[in-house]
Structure 1
Amino acid sequence: MLPDGYVLRPLSADASSALAAAAARNREHLRPWEPLRPESFFTEEGQREVIAGRLRQVELGLYDCWLLWHGTEVVGSANLQNIVRGAMQGADVGYWVDHAHLRRGLAVALLQHLVQRGHDLGLHRLGASTMVANVASQAVLRRCGFEQCGLVPEFLYLNGAWSDSLLFNLVLHDGPPRA
């Protein structure tokens, strides 16, 4: 449950200005956990391109994107990404919270929303990875029922280097896939 004053909305094409402002405001805060970004990523035009690409993936059923708003500012996001159907019925989770809005339970609320969306979409499992040093995100995952299930050396190229990642898993149900 989100604290008062926060609203979660699906990603929309008209969010480019607010997302560009959020990206610029959180550039240093998110730098250790993200790939290197071109300067265009921090502009409204760059965010228009990012949004257009993600909305295409939403249409294909590969992504489920949500933005966390506080007034007119985007202060976080929550995504189910790499949605796979067939025998797997799974997705990976991704989330972030604005540096000025930390320690309010927002990351937990975002992840709980993604778990509910996974149920709503009939997914069997959700996965996550965090850099070994990202203990805050690991605590959020554990608080939401995810279990650590592995370590992958040099898993992702983040902040200019290959980084080891801890893998987490959450099984949502044991029933057969929905028809």
Structure 2
Amino acid sequence: MRAVEAGDAAGLADTLTRNREFMAPFEPWRSEVFFTEAGQAARIEALLAERDAGRVASYVLVETGSGAPVGMINLGSIVLGPFRSGGIGYWVDRAWHGRGLATAATLEVCRIARDAYGLHRVEAGTLVDNLASQRVLAKAGFEQYGLAPRYLHINGAWRDHRLFQRLLHDEPPL
């Protein structure tokens, strides 16, 4: 896992295109441009601007050796002050499912959220029937705290989500 960089656009476009059909049931509608190198370059530029503003930290999961992207995890919606919270979202190439990558990345992002950002909690949401992602979150120490009806527009419809959180520490905000 490493921070996303501008040079990741082509590799991410390739990986996302290859996994497009597999990920469609879990993703919002994406334009054709999203799956191109130019679309990913624009997305990365926006993520880096958000990172510079302190609102997002984005990481690419890469294959050892080749450095090819096999997934991504974002810590977003970072809010400081008395809230000290953020949310995570991730995806992993279908060929790499079941190897613990999402769990390891989630654990590392929680460490970063606590140590680098001083966050008190991290939250995540999954589709109600996304049991694989729910297992990732459980293994990473998250607990379900709610159900959000019609939470996100995913694969053509407003979908219910299970909401999870992990409390990172109980120190007062700095």
The TM-score range, normalised by the shorter chain, is over 0.9
Matches of 1:102 and 1:157 in 2, distance apart? 24
The answer as to whether partners of 1:18 and 1:72 remain within 8 angstroms in 2 is: no
Quick one: distance in 2 between partners of 1:170 and 1:102? 23
Match of 2:38 among 40, 45, 50: 45
Structure 1 segment 111-126 matched on structure 2, within 5 A:
111-120=106-115, 121-126=117-122
Aligned to 2:68: 73
Per-residue CA shift, 1:95-120, capped at 9, x if unaligned?
Answer: 11100111111111111111111111
SS of corresponding position for 2:98: coil
1:86 to 57, 60, 81: 81
Alignment correspondent of 2:13: 20
Answering whether residue 136 of structure 2 is matched by residue 176 of structure 1, we say no
Note the residue ranges of structure 2 that are not aligned, 5 or more in a row: none
Q: Which amino acid aligns with 1:58?
A: R
Amino acid in structure 1 at the alignment position of 2:133? S
Give the SS at the match of 2:44.
helix
**Could you tell me which amino acid in structure 2 is paired with residue 76 of structure 1?**
G
Secondary structure of 1:88 counterpart: coil
TM-score norm. by structure 2 comes to: 0.96
* Pair 1:107-2:102 in alignment: yes
- Displacement after TM superposition at 1:72 (Å): 3.7
From 124, 127, 152, give the equivalent of 1:128.
Answer: 124
Counterparts of 2:103 and 2:25, CA distance in 1: 20
Confirm or deny that 1:60 pairs with 2:59: no
Kindly provide the amino acid, as one letter, of the partner of residue 125 in structure 2.
S
Q: Alpha-carbon deviations, 1:14-59, whole Å to 9, x = none?
A: 1110010011011012111111000001100011110011111000
Contact 1:155 1:165 in 2 (8 A): yes
Over residues 68-108 of structure 1, what are the superposed CA-to-partner deviations in whole Å (9 max), with x where a residue is unaligned? 11124210111101001111000001111100111111111
Structure 1, gaps ≥5 residues long: 1-7
Q: Do structure 1's residue 30 and structure 2's residue 23 form an aligned pair?
A: yes
Conservation of the 8 A alpha-carbon contact between 1:148 and 1:167: yes
Matched, 1:165 2:161: yes
CA-based RMSD of the aligned residues comes to 0.8
- Residues of 1 paired with 2:103 and 2:67: CA distance? 22
Checking the alignment, whether the CA contact within 8 Å between 1:9 and 1:68 is kept in structure 2 is yes
The Cα shift of 1:148 comes to: 0.3
Percent identity (aligned):
44
Q: What secondary structure sits across from 1:87 in the alignment?
A: coil
Stretches of 4+ aligned residues off by more than 4 angstroms:
none
Instruction: Give the residue type in structure 1 aligned to 2:111.
Output: Q
1:96 match: secondary structure: strand
